[in-house]
Amino acid sequence: MTSLATSIGGRTFDNCMMNAAGIRCQNKKDLDALVASRAGAYVTKSATPQKRAGNPSPRMHTLPNKGSINSMGLPNNGLDYYLDYVVDDQHKRPDATNFLSVAGTSLEDNLAMLHQIQESEYHGFVELNLSCPNVPGKPQVGYDFDRVNEVLDEVFKFYTKPLGVKLPPYFDLVHFDQIAAILNQYPLTFVNSINSIGNALVVDPQTERVVIRPKGGFGGIGGASVKPTALANVRGLALRLKPEIAIVGTGGITTGVDVFEHILCGASMVQIGTQFGYEGTAIFDRLAEELKAIMNQKGYTNITEFRGKLKTFDD
């Protein structure tokens, strides 16, 4: 029997695939569909303390070759909505672990939300999003290393439940060294890499105009074209993080082979954003069958047999 099961921080998941935050996870109906699907877990839309409408439309645009650009601006129903959902789900399915994403637009908001979660009965994972590129005037914390340190210092003064961070993509090996050195100082359960490649610009030559309204057209790129950047970040972090910190690989997954590559680079779990948006929950059936097929061809029966085992020309 080929198993797609995985474990992170002592919690087990029967499938190593799930949605990426923001995609089809904003309301109860979306989340119920994920629960009913073959995904191994779900993550909720990144929450702010209060409900937000987000940026004006058009704020997402489909790109050729399985891509997307977005500047949603954190539309969400507010932390209470998602915390109620995950706590209720925890009562219904006590053995399942899921991910609650929070993305305050200030340190104070993040600390207030984490205090509320700490005091609640929720005991699942929290994904602290340090990489939202789309709120005008609010730079991504993940690109300010001193600020990342400060946030985690404050958080771990009181937060004792399993926590991970969602990071932006990095593009220099020195930056991998620097972020890993900071993350390794904290009892993080996981690191999720990557968020969208932020502040890209897509131009429509026909209309001579940008394709999304917010921020003069600047937005985050997702989909197939970000896979090499995602794999580099998963691998770069896997080589540098202490083994207690699991890696959740996100970016550019459209096939079971893409999932296989993320796991080879060191991911324990993978998240699918853009392509899940296009296909809906049926994608988890397709990817599961495709990953099983490649594992069967290679004689692997579970993902730990190849996780992190990427070869280089130096091996």
Judged by CB under 6 A, the residue of 23, 72, 113, 248 near ligand DHB is 72
Within 8 A by CB and 6+ apart from 53, the residues are 75
Quote the DSSP letter at residue 142.
G
Of 68-76, 184-192, 246-254, 281-289, the window that binds ligand DHB (rule: CB under 6 A) is 68-76
Q: Distance of CA 199 to CAs 105, 132, 133, 220, Å?
A: 17, 10, 7, 5
Rule CB under 6 A: choose which of 97, 193, 196, 268 binds ligand DHB: 196
The first and second tokens of residue 166, run together, are: 């969602």
Write the DSSP string, 72-122.
Answer: ----B--HHHHHHHHHHHHHH-TT---EEEE--SSHHHHHHHHHHHHHSS-
Give the nearest distance from C-beta 47 to ligand DHB in angstroms. Answer: 10
User: Which residue in 15, 22, 38, 125 binds ligand DHB (CB under 6 A)?
Assistant: 22
Q: Residue type at 300? A: Y
Indicate which single residue of 48, 195, 225, 274 sits in contact with ligand DHB (rule: CB under 6 A): 195
Least separation in angstroms between CB 3 and ligand DHB = 31
Q: Does 26 bind ligand DHB (CB under 6 A)?
A: no
Using CB under 6 A as the binding rule, the residues of this chain from 102 to 121 that contact ligand DHB are 103
**274 is a site residue for ligand DHB (CB under 6 A):** no
Q: Is 129 in the site for ligand DHB (CB under 6 A)?
A: yes
- For 30: left if phi > 0, alpha if psi spans -120 to 50, otherwise beta; the answer is alpha
**Residue number with CB closer to ligand DHB (105 or 302):** 105
Candidates 132, 141, 246, 291; binder of ligand DHB (CB under 6 A) is 132
Residue 75 beta carbon to ligand DHB: minimum distance, rounded to whole angstroms: 6
Structure tokens at 127: 């994904």
d(CA 314, CA 249): 24
Indicate the length of the chain as a whole number.
315
Cis peptide before 194 (omega within 30 of 0): yes
Interface with ligand DHB by CB under 6 A: which range of 36-44, 70-78, 119-127, 252-260? 70-78
The one catalytic residue in 46, 68, 101, 131 is 131
Rounded least distance, CB 290 to ligand DHB, Å: 26
- Asked if 164 and 126 count as a contact pair (C-beta separation under 8 A), the reply is yes
Burial category of 64 from C-beta neighbours within 10 Å (exposed 0-12, middle 13-18, buried 19 and up): exposed
CA 249 to chain centre: 7
Residue 103 Cβ vs ligand DHB, minimum distance, rounded to whole Å:
5
Distance of CA 214 to the CA centre of its chain: 22
Contacts (CB under 6 A) with ligand DHB, residues 210-239: 220
| Only segment of 2-10, 113-121, 128-136, 262-270 that touches ligand DHB (CB under 6 A) | 128-136
Q: Which of 37, 71, 101, 132 is catalytic?
A: 132
Binding of residue 273 to ligand DHB (CB under 6 A): no
Residue 208 beta carbon to ligand DHB: minimum distance, rounded to whole angstroms: 25
The residue within the footprint of ligand DHB, chosen from 26, 110, 131, 225 (CB under 6 A), is 131
Query: CA angle at residue 163 from 159 to 168, to 5 degrees?
Result: 125
Residue 132 is among the residues annotated as catalytic for this protein: yes
58: preceding bond cis by omega (within 30 degrees)? yes
Residues that bind ligand DHB (CB under 6 A): 22, 46, 54, 70-74, 103, 129, 131-134, 195-196, 220
- Residues assigned a catalytic role: 131-132
